[in-house]
Structure 1
Amino acid sequence: MSDLVVVGGGLAGVEAAWQAANRGIKVDLYEMRPEKMTPAHKTSNLAELVCSNSLRASSLENAAGLLKEEMKKLGSLIMKIAERHQVPAGGAMAVDRERFAKDITETIENHENINLKREEFKNLDAEKPTIIATGPLTSQKLVNEILNFTDSKLLYFYDAAAPIVTYESINHNKVFRASRYDKGTADYLNCPMTKEEYKRFYQELINGDVVQMKDFEKQIHFEGCMPVEVMAKRGAETLTFGPLKPVGLKDPRTGEVPYAVAQLRQDDKEGNLYNLVGFQTQLKWPEQKRIFRLIPGLENAEFVRYGVMHRNTYVNSPSILKATYQLKDYPNIFLAGQITGVEGYIESASSGIVAGINASRLLIEEETLTFPEETAHGALSNYITTASPRNFQPMNINFGLLPPPEDKNKKKVPKKEKKAKQSEKALSSLENFINENSLRLA
């Protein structure tokens, strides 16, 4: 009989099972393929990469590179196998996806503490330590089970997310802080547009290149989550009555109401990240960067997340999840992977590492751990559990989630140097955390 149930054989589930099994925990790992396939998967292999074969940048001046380095220090199976099947990709890490998935499958199948069960998991037991890591295409039966343990309002089926930029990359000489009609506190950054600026932006927006959705991702566009470019095509002035409505927003520098206003709303508690309100979109990522930089104040905006609209089952983690990846009301149940609101291959895998470690500690009656916020692992778990529940959006790892490096001299530090310092601090903090809690694999 198993000590721990892990549901889902993707990157998060594989890492969670691996971490627990290497700590002597008996694991039942459920993967419904090939008994029941998803619309995206093509094989029955574990950790199948269904989109790109890239695990993104490797440099420590890139947050993805930092996250992967932390994963290595924590004994990541994904990183171990990825290095074995790496293919040329410049400064990024990419893998031969077939060999990568096949190797992981065989490694898991041959682990003495893992029992791979090729069947759909249907019944969630609050008393049984369980990690749900079923990804964005969670089966309807399991969705219904999750709904038994969470409020139905806290489970989303489509990821309609607006782009997010860093605060420091905004040109604050062109934006002003205010709330509409000066109601409450001045919580929004407002980007005023002249008629000429708006017309240019509008033309580029309606002619931008969009991502074609797959059949299983297609949806009816509800008024509340319509792609901004679709809304724009209703008429040249439609946006000025919608997300770019200027009413109640007087530019303090001119004393006048602008022709149009794009609003930015704080996205994290530290105020390092801001999202473009109402700008959920299906534009391709290079197009988003090009077109949204036409908005005054965003000429040099650094995008830490681009807008997306696709099929993605995920929970409202700030409302229901602890930074240990446990449900607040059901501590035996952990979530990991994209269902938590982390976005991307390595982010999913890293959350599986944390969930696997903490589920193991729960089983041996040790305290579950919250990773330090200055590490990439801790920054991700901190974001998904402390972001605004009203506006929660899935997130990739980025340096905007980590505390900025201390600058005692208050000098402007070059971006690369700043990121290198953040990585150095993160790895040092993780090393101390590993040593203090004896986290290295046996």
Structure 2
Amino acid sequence: MEIVVEHLSDLTKKLTITLPKETVGPALEKAYAKINKEVKLKGFRRGKIPQSVLENNFGAQIQAEVGEKLVQESYFDAIEKEKLEPVVHPEITEHNFPEDGTFVYVALVDIKPQFELKEYKGLEVEKPVVTVSDEEVENEIKLLQRHQAVLQTAEEGHAIAMDDVAIVDFQGFHNGKAMKEVRNENFSVDIGMHRLGKDFEEKLLGLKKGDKTLYEITFPADYPNPLLAGKTVEFKVDVKDVKVRVKPELDDEFAKDIKPELTTLEELKKDIRDRLQKTKDDALKGDLDDKIMHKLIDLNPFEVPQRLVNYEIQEMLKQTEENLKRSGLSFESAGINLEELVEKNKEVAVKRVKGDFLLKKIAEIEEIKIADEDIQRGYQRIADQYRMTLDEVKKYFKRREEILPFMNELHNEKILNFLREQAKFIEVAAATEPSAAQAEA
């Protein structure tokens, strides 16, 4: 095997690889012998078709199949011989079978960036002090009381109020045209939960069963639903019915209904406080990890392979597309411009790629590796989160394409745990946070 390496950049190498006829000839002969036994051509017995006839009829197919096989068999040997560390699959730009019996192909290889790791231990990071207020506990209690309430049909003439459920038909119009995805019949609007937006619900307050109304709402550019983001939509609404909530009393019996192992309302409040504190602590942990990664990236500038960034962008687009599909939408129906979305995600993709290289470099220096107990803890966490058995989780991760991203995630978590332990945290007052009810909304 002959290899010629051209340095297109610090991160991209062009390999022209030539395989000798002693390797290529037998591979072609084997492929022609196989197809000779399998195909039928008029005027020839199976297995007795002349080579020239096979080449005329199946030459292009055979060369494509054998070429792909030869690339697969020789590429990694070539990489190892040249001591390269590729980060993505190569781009095979050309391949051919010259008349001298050899096989030549060109591979564009993006390699691992080389950089000197600077400061990564003892990073100074601001750490908000997070606590759970009495108001947050009371809001959570009210939310539970709301969920335990019984819905009853409102009396005739009852005006829609907070905590009621309005049954409505609605149709959205944009620039005078009906939006086929923004319509529904007999839709339940839970007043106060803001699932259709605060403005939409507030326009219903005071209306009664049988009322019809027409109103406009201008949605902000960052509104979660891409169909509505940045648009002014006129809604035609027909109130079909109104239901009121009859809430249970807040007493010890209420606490038992929520959680049978509890005996008093005070115990329920403590349980809620503990749960909210854990949620805040978990969120803070993620926030600190983000701050550490931003510091690392700022302190360690280096270039990353563009094709790896492109791959990351495609993964992000795929995730966005899956989220849209769950809502019955596509990029087109949601009015999303793909070019703009790619540009918007580019910076994030670069940071993700850089972050992964930095973490792996730290793992290499500090000899941080994944152990069996780390994997078992990962399995258990997924089992607890999705209420699955450990066997069910392990069965899901049997495939290579599932286990490798999972292992990478566990490894990155272990490296971040190390960096968090090494960091210097500066405690600051936490920003005002939404109540539990607002968070759910």
TM-score (norm 1): 0.21
Bigger-Rg structure (1/2): 2
Q: Whose relative contact order is higher, 1 or 2, with alpha carbons under 8 Å and at least 6 apart?
A: 1
Structure that is richer in helix per residue: 2
Normalised to the residue count of structure 2, the TM-score between the two structures is 0.21
